[in-house]
Amino acid sequence: MTRPSGSPKIYELGIWIGYLEARVSPDQTNWGIIREALQELNAYKTIDGLEFIGAEAQSQLYSLARKYKYSYNRLFANEDREVLRDMVTTWCGRLEEVKRRWLIVIPNLSLDVSKLTSGAEAFFSPDEWDRLNELERQGLNEAVNCMLSNNFTAAEFMALRTVESVLRRWYAVKKGKETQLQADVINFIDSEYPDNNKRPKEISALFHLKNRRNAIAHPDEISTAQDANATFTYVIGTCKLAGLLAYNKTDEEESGNNAEAQNN
């Protein structure tokens, strides 16, 4: 489940509810128009607090699709318009209660806010995102949520904690052994590769990551928007490069193991 991703997502919700309400009011509306609105509203079933809209939109979409099938130009029946009108009225009543728990924050960021509202996945290709494990994906999404609410120290902490996980996996593949420390991975790898000019490209951002990791470890350090923007950008780049090496190596090992098993 994800949280509402700021005002853009809420604004889009208002647009589509208003669109559906307007389309079920005229006497003549075709199924294709209703289908489009229900498809868009269906996406809200994974948004915390708005699940009821997505779930009911999905239920109506499936039910009506069985009735109208691919006849997108077919006129929408009066009894179906009544059902959807009642549904929209119920939604609006429930939203009055839900929105009392919402806080609208204007992010103070130089990064693309529209991408951030879609989650960390928007900064990766599908293959790059799949190379991260579940905890790493969750960590980056939490960093994004912190950035959107202007909690920059928390954003940096979550982003750096996530890249530590990726670097730990990267080191295990690169060196063929686990790191000696479970904590303080960035400083450990920095000591393993002391010459900045000879570092693998996957850890080219290690100097910045180390400085920020050390800085936020102190209770008197508060991150700025610029700190969080830069760190998030470096973390994304490192996760892409380091994740690729670990993933490809793991694939090669699994392929070799499978081939060996088949030969035996």
Name the band, by pLDDT with cuts 50, 70 and 90, for residue 180: low
Evaluate if residue 7 carries a pLDDT over 70: no
Which has more pLDDT, 97 or 139? Answer: 139
Evaluate if residue 263 carries a pLDDT over 60: no
User: How far is Cα 151 from Cα 158, in angstroms, rounded to an integer?
Assistant: 11
Give pLDDT tens digits for 128-144: 999 999 999 999 999 99
| Beta carbons within 8 Å of 95's beta carbon, 6+ residues apart | none
Name the band, by pLDDT with cuts 50, 70 and 90, for residue 251: very low
Q: Contact at 8 Å (CB) between 91 and 17?
A: yes
Q: Which of 90, 140, 92 is nearest to 116 (CA)?
A: 140
- Mean pLDDT confidence for 242-252: 65
- pTM: predicted TM-score of the whole model, two decimal places: 0.64
| Mean pLDDT over the full length of the chain | 85
**Model pLDDT, residue 103:** 65
Strand partners, 75: 30
Give pLDDT tens digits for 34-48: 999 999 999 998 888
User: What stretches of 176-224 show up as alpha helix (H) in DSSP?
Assistant: 185-192, 206-216
